Structure 1
């Protein structure tokens, strides 16, 4: 029996475009010529319309579950670019993006209505048990930025742990051993939007492991808070108060927004970043190069991560592979005045 993929091949379009066109998806944007090719392929192949109605139960569409609230998604360049990458690739592959669940805000009472979607992309640290529950409705799941999940799903994430290790190695090679870490808590969220705040954050985890492995256990010194500039300042202020006579010669900061607050704190205390201490951060957002001195930061292409997540979802929807995939995206350290490593 002729299937939708045969129709898509004959019409030279994606299966997603065929599905959405035949299901009269009003959000689909394709040319009249493309529509005519699909109609002709359906007619020439004698495609079974009744089968098409059956296939409607699994539409060519992606549901998005995010642990990031709407404001943060807009304000934080990492997440805004990630979402842009998801949107861009979904449009290119003619996949609908017609349902978004913000767990931190929407206060859902239960997982529901995910069984008819082609696939689900989850951004952030939804806990393992909630993922297992969701898989009872839909097994086509791609998880972004949560490498600790062991369920049978696709994973795509930036390799933060490797970059922490690389940055620490550069600092140690430059003679630094008194190295502190300032970052944010890990926040696990379940299907009801309930948060569990803990220290199991991948950057902190890699920092502690490196210090142990290098025989620097006695120098482990870290501060955790929320992922925002004011918290960065607060944590740096605490570090200054606690380490008056033995202040770290280097600090790794978990994100550039946090680093903005750290800069304000250190500079208010008379510390010369790049001279009195080295500082490395993550994200390489625009503000990293406008700070004085310029902030050495890890560049992470979150837009490409978003693109990849949708491509993995599309492969699952179309049955193009049976095995799950884990994609890790490499990052690049951009050197500026806060730390010279060359």
Structure 2
């Protein structure tokens, strides 16, 4: 039976290029002549390039294992957008995505994972759980967990690098006394059990930056839940303890927490953007509506989800043997909570 690799050899291109052209992947950048050569090779080999017939015959389902509960996912726009990206790309490639596990809902066990074409894991789960998953299915894609040690495909937003870049920008604008308010890292095992640690990606980058720039005396971090309520509570604690020597800037781990930070600062009549400058993560709709507007780091969750599905398809079609790590860039959207001209 003629396969993708046969077409690839005849067209003198990679199997991945053949798969993406035949599946009409709009994101691929390929020369018109190369595209014609691939289609001609498929036709010459009598390879079935009718997308619907081809995919319905060959494409198995993808399973999704998420550390986020269904309720939390509905309230968190980042994970909501990531799920949209997963589903949209699966539909476009005619892949089933009906097996979805939410670890926060305390599943009893994972069964029949070896029957799936691939598994996409969203969020931070333990290394032991990854090992157990690999015993059932080698086609594993891990999303938003760059700390995994096993050899698996990974895709995530480059939050540590962006955290360092933002802190560098603050330092260049004369900020040395920079506080951090964020959330704990929560790793889940296959039964929904939680392992809570403080060294989440943004927090870790903050500590490294302050130490690398000899700013240890200014290190001040507060951690809690990733909620508006805890953002407000942690800021109130910081203001109470440091009323005589406030930080000049606060880096906040998420926009929902930043809403709480705003509330606490406003209660004390502290002028945001002048007395204390704030930069956050997510660039949610609320960031623009806050007064003053919240400077925030934008992460394209939908694109990350789509990339994970494409990586899964490459595994299903055996288009590559090597593992790949894909990082998506982030973008700083500057608003009035941060004044880069401060001197």
Check whether TM > 0.5.
yes
User: Is the counterpart of residue 198 in structure 1 residue 197 in structure 2?
Assistant: yes
- Aligned length, in residue pairs: 304
CA distance in 2 between counterparts of 1:260 and 1:79 reads: 19
SS at match of 1:248: coil
Q: 1:173 to 1:2 in 2, by over 3 A?
A: closer
Output aligned runs, 1:161-200, within 5 Å.
161-200=160-199
- For residue 298 of structure 1, what is the aligned residue in structure 2? 297
SS at match of 1:142: strand
Residue pair 2:287, 2:295 contacting (<8 A) in 1 also:
yes
CA distance in 1 between counterparts of 2:127 and 2:261 reads: 33
SS at match of 2:119: strand
- For residue 102 of structure 1, what is the aligned residue in structure 2? 102
Output aligned runs, 1:161-310, within 5 Å.
161-310=160-309
Measured after TM superposition, the shift of residue 244 of structure 1 is 1.0
Q: 1:13 to 1:152 in 2, by over 3 A?
A: farther
CA distance in 2 between counterparts of 1:18 and 1:118 reads: 18
CA distance in 1 between counterparts of 2:124 and 2:50 reads: 35
Q: 1:223 to 1:137 in 2, by over 3 A?
A: same
Residue pair 2:252, 2:279 contacting (<8 A) in 1 also:
yes
User: Is the counterpart of residue 21 in structure 1 residue 56 in structure 2?
Assistant: yes
Once the two structures are superposed, residues 183-224 of structure 1 have per-residue CA deviations (whole angstroms, 9 ceiling, x without a partner) of 000000000100011112000000000000000011110011
- For residue 68 of structure 1, what is the aligned residue in structure 2? 68
CA distance in 1 between counterparts of 2:116 and 2:53 reads: 15
SS at match of 1:115: helix
Measured after TM superposition, the shift of residue 6 of structure 1 is 7.9
CA distance in 2 between counterparts of 1:312 and 1:193 reads: 26
Residue pair 1:143, 1:153 contacting (<8 A) in 2 also:
yes
Structure 2, unaligned runs of 5 or more: 8-21, 23-41
Residue pair 1:259, 1:281 contacting (<8 A) in 2 also:
yes
SS at match of 2:98: strand
Structure 1, unaligned runs of 5 or more: 23-54
TM-score scaled by length of structure 2: 0.85
* Structure 1: 4+ residue segments shifted above 4 A: 2-9, 17-20
Name the Cα RMSD after superposition: 1.7
Residue pair 2:56, 2:94 contacting (<8 A) in 1 also:
no
CA distance in 2 between counterparts of 1:121 and 1:150 reads: 16
Measured after TM superposition, the shift of residue 2 of structure 1 is 4.6
Measured after TM superposition, the shift of residue 112 of structure 1 is 1.6
CA distance in 2 between counterparts of 1:245 and 1:19 reads: 69
Residue pair 1:4, 1:18 contacting (<8 A) in 2 also:
no
TM-score scaled by length of structure 1: 0.85
Q: 1:166 to 1:13 in 2, by over 3 A?
A: farther
Residue pair 2:118, 2:137 contacting (<8 A) in 1 also:
yes
Measured after TM superposition, the shift of residue 95 of structure 1 is 0.6
